[in-house]
Amino acid sequence: MMEIINRELSWLSFNDRVLQEALDDLVPVVERMRFLGIYSNNMDEFYRVRVANIRRMIALKKQKVDGFDGTSAELYQEIRDVVIEQQQKFELAYRKILRALVKERIHHTDEKRITLAHKKELSSYFHEQLKHAVFPIILDKKNPFPKLRDYAIYLAVKIVEKKDKIRYALIQIPTDFSRFYQLKKGEDIRIILIDDIIRLYLKEIFSIFEPVEINAYTFKFTRDAELDLDDDLTLSFIEKIEKSLKQRKKGIPVRFVYDEKMPGDLLSYLLHALNLKAGINTIPGGRYHNFKDFISFPDFGRPEFVYPKQLPCKVPQFEKGRGIIETILKEDVLLHFPYQRFSYIVDLLREAAIDPKVKEIKINIYRVASKSEIMNALMAAVFNGKQVTVIFELQARFDEENNLYWSDRLKEFGAKVIYGFPNLKVHSKLLQIKRIKDNKEQFITYIGTGNFNEKSARIYSDFAYLTSRTEVSNEVRKVFRLLESHIEPIAFRKLLVSPFNAKRRLIALIDREILAAKKGKKAGIKIKLNNLTDQIMINKLYQASQAGVKVDMIIRGICCLIPGKKGLSENIKVISIVDRYLEHARFLKFENSGKPEYFITSADFMERNLDKRIEVGVLVESPNVQKELDLIFNYQWSGSVKARLITADFKNQYRRTDIPTFHAQLELYKYYKKIEEVE
């Protein structure tokens, strides 16, 4: 069996790196709180998707688990043990952040520690606003247990009436209000969660029962999020998606996180009602849950509590007084978000919408913002008589409803809308604009690593390659024809297209480095990805290491490859950067005996990306863009402040003590700012 690290345990190690940011005193205090929110949100999705899949493996009695010396049931228990350990670290981080805030005269308070003056203010807030959004549900064995919402937070209420009669109830924490309410007095600020404001008025909410004692305990649970697209031939694909989205809301619970102080009788009641088992599906925790809301934790108007503002930089090529289209016709441009402006892409589409020479615009969409300037620009192009074709991926997990909404809007406006590709998700990031000038076709082509989403482009680090090169543009045209007509693809020379030629080409590129190393020629591989799980690619990288090829990798998330193992991977070094921006760009460089080849791509080295999705990477031949890609990788490879060494023991050791201090993301921003100012 090939030596690899288990995928789920590697992912948990990545989320532990997110927790490290919450514990890091170098991170501004409110940003640390927000990292707790990111950790929590990540964990929700992990349980909804990956852990749900392991539970299906257990149900099918599937014993073999890649990278784990045990059964699927034992892996499930191992995950639970790791999560409980991380939960303790999470609580520690939360307490540390609260102590840091106290030093700034900002205090977290609850319903038991507020003054009479604050009670008066909270009474006004509760009775005039919050009360009307609180709908208690009495739990009665005579009535079916209510259908609870995933992602919601609930208060489980235990009511003790006269003569020791016990009654249970539920309250969902309202989602239309900020989770945080600020109470001010002089220079001091007290922040109270609306969970505790509701607790303050529990006796009033349940006054008809005349409670002698009443307490509330937070819990949340996570459902299996897998869409089940059944084989009902009477339904269209869109109808199947819509039906599956409704079923997702009724999915099997896979995790129940609760206040560890919840009384045993109330806990037993809830677990029985939800058909869960204590110690298997359950994770004990603190008083508060759904920390994903803490992504929106207030900054109290204190700039030192958050990262310094870094406005996206201008791109010199686009600031020379000519149009964006005209610029790309003259030279290739690499955009690096969020360091540089994503708005150039919206401007490109707006320019195309009114350019008389533009005849067609084609784009493929995986995720877009709910309020999307990209979509609005495409609709403007339709208004101006352009032929607009949009390929939507309706199975973009957790964005299905948003994509359905925008596809309907575009169809109403007259765009040609196509839904994906049979049996393959379309994950590529392509845009192509066709012009006719002097009876000749011109193409402006965009190949990216991230989504056409101006919101995520503010926090996701991604590349966008803009070119008018004929060979690249013609091959991207082939990809669009493939997506539109589902014909078999023709050969690609400049593009890596999954699942058709990408894996084969990548293996050939690595083999070429192996051969060069054996001949004593210059050999080396540089890789930047989100995830590395594909066992064929891992094995090929092991072979490269054994042949003497130096492999440097920056892997943000899952890494199933074991680096630095003597006789196996001693020439492979892997680091991970977790910082202010989410590293999402994918980049490859092969030394090729001193004539290096560079690629950017939408695909990670995962089975799903290389074998089960439409992904597109491109050979970058512009010397200026190659130089920029080298600079970006070298900056990040030199990083120490936010870089961790990836090892099989999951220690996530910082590189701070190994190399000179260098904050890669901060230094990259300084570089782009300097270029902007020089121009």
Catalytic residue numbers read 427
107, 192 in Cβ contact below 8 A?
A: no
Instruction: Give all strands (DSSP E) within 224-332, no chain letters.
Output: 253-259, 282-285
- Measured CA to CA in angstroms, residue 463 lies from 343, 423, 450, 556, 571 at distances of 14, 27, 7, 15, 28
Exposure string for 465-474, b = 16+ CB within 10 A, e = fewer: bbbbbeebbb
| Cα distance between residue 175 and residue 171, in whole Å | 12
Q: By C-alpha distance, which of 112, 110, 7 is closest to 68? A: 7
| Cα distance between residue 256 and residue 46, in whole Å | 14
In angstroms, how far is CA 607 from the centroid of its own chain?
18
SS3 614: strand
347: tokens are 């401007």
Type and span of the H or E element at 202 = helix 202-205
626, 620 in Cβ contact below 8 A?
A: yes
In angstroms, how far is CA 643 from the centroid of its own chain?
19
| Cα distance between residue 592 and residue 606, in whole Å | 24
Q: Where are the alpha helices (DSSP H) in 256-372?
A: 264-273, 324-330, 343-354
331: tokens are 């030279």
3-state percent breakdown (helix, strand, coil) of the chain, nearest 5: 40, 25, 35
Q: By C-alpha distance, which of 465, 560, 543 is closest to 508? A: 543
